[in-house]
A and B are shown apart, each in its own frame.
Chain A
Amino acid sequence: KAGVTQTPRYLIKTRGQQVTLSCSPISGHRSVSWYQQTPGQGLQFLFEYFSETQRNKGNFPGRFSGRQFSNSRSEMNVSTLELGDSALYLCASSLSPSGADTQYFGPGTRLTVL
């Protein structure tokens, strides 16, 4: 079974631009979560989607948004990029939004903001 895939793997943008990252979950998984990983802040939860509905949101500004499609694929968008948005963005999928379900992580998208 194919794992979680994220595209693109690397991205370079300039301040003020916007960016869209994509995540395809493991087949049959309906819950998708996004995390931001930086050296200073570590791994921080962005949001969680299940059945096309956002169920949970972390403490990030409104510039960070996401959505989930009917096939469970998910996208996240960051508008008006800032230097501090440079990070590894990880997507994770699980069968359901239960805290007991294992989350399987993709390889991440490395975003660099210049």
Chain B
Amino acid sequence: AQSVTQLDSQVPVFEEAPVELRCNYSSSVSVYLFWYVQYPNQGLQLLLKYLSGSTLVKGINGFEAEFNKSQTSFHLRKPSVHISDTAEYFCAVSAGETSGSRLTFGEGTQLTVNP
């Protein structure tokens, strides 16, 4: 079984500041890793995903994440945030090819960008 822990439930930052949202995972098998964003009253939108290869993954809206296998982490970063980045962010894993498309999500991190 897989589990995901998002280390911060809320992250307040000022506009144009850098931000890091932390995610650790646990799994006995190889996993694929994802970050999704959810704006109020909407579904989830994929920011980026790690399948294999380069451990630094670039996504949409200027976000990037780094896969660290030894620390079982997949932290999300953005060098300069905007007001419009205010949303809830979810880290998720799927257990490779063995569990189908089933995603296990973390509890979410509410990012609030203040002017």
Residues of A in contact with B, size category: 20 to 34
* Majority-rule SS of B interface residues: loop
| Nearest CB of chain A from residue B98's CB, rounded to whole Å | 8
Contact status of A98 and B105, CB under 8 A, knowing A90-B43, A106-B43, A107-B43: no
A107–B42 CB distance below 8 A: yes
19 contacts between A and B (CB under 8 A): A35-B103, A42-B105, A43-B108, A45-B102, A48-B102, A56-B102, A92-B44, A92-B101, A92-B103, A97-B100, A99-B94, A99-B97, A99-B99, A99-B100, A99-B102, A100-B94, A103-B46, A105-B44, A107-B43
The A/B interface has a contact count, at CB < 8 Å, of 74
Contact status of A33 and B32, CB under 8 A, knowing A98-B97, A102-B49, A107-B42: no
Residues of B in contact with A, size category: 20 to 34
* Majority-rule SS of A interface residues: strand
The listed residue (B45, B100, B108) touching A48 by CB distance below 8 A is: B100
Residue B65 lies at the interface, judged by CB distance under 8 Å to chain A: no
Nearest neighbor of B99 in chain A, beta-carbon distance:
A99
Q: Give Cα distance in the complex from A45 to B2, angstroms.
A: 12
Can you add 19 more A-B contacts, CB < 8 Å, to A100-B51, A100-B94?
A4-B43, A35-B103, A43-B90, A44-B105, A45-B104, A48-B100, A56-B99, A90-B44, A92-B44, A92-B101, A94-B101, A98-B100, A99-B94, A99-B101, A100-B96, A103-B103, A106-B43, A107-B42, A107-B43
